[in-house]
Amino acid sequence: MKKVTVQYLFGGEISEVDNEEGILFPNGKVFVAGNGELGLYEAQLTDEQGVVLVDLDRAGDEYMREDPSVLIDLLSAV
C-alpha cells in the first residue's frame, strides 16, 4: 500500500481541483476519503510518480457502494 494523489477523469477532462489523496493497494484499487465520503475505485498508473487516475467515464465503479465489506476483504489481504 502507498499514499498517492488521485486524479479523476470525468466528461473527458481532468480537473486538478478534484484531486484527492488516496491509498493504492497492490491489486490496483485505490481507497479515497474526501468531502465526507469514502470510495474504492479501480486505479490506473500515470507517468507521474505517486499519481493515479480514476476513469469515471469508463470504469468508474465505486466498489464500496454495492458492498461495503469489500474494504475489509481488501485490507485483510494485505
Helical H runs in the chain?
A: 63-66, 70-76
pLDDT value of residue 62:
75
State pTM to two decimals.
Answer: 0.83
pLDDT value of residue 5:
97
Structure confidence by residue, pLDDT tens digits, 27-70 = 999 999 877 778 899 999 999 999 999 999 987 677 666 677 88
Pairing, β 29-34 against β 51-55: unpaired
Dihedral sign computed on CA atoms, order 39, 45, 51, 54: negative
**Domain extents in the chain:** 2-76
> Contact, 74 vs 28, CB < 8 A?
no
Provide the CATH topology of domain 2-76.
Answer: SH3 type barrels. (2.30.30)
Of 19 and 38, the structure prediction assigns the larger pLDDT to 19
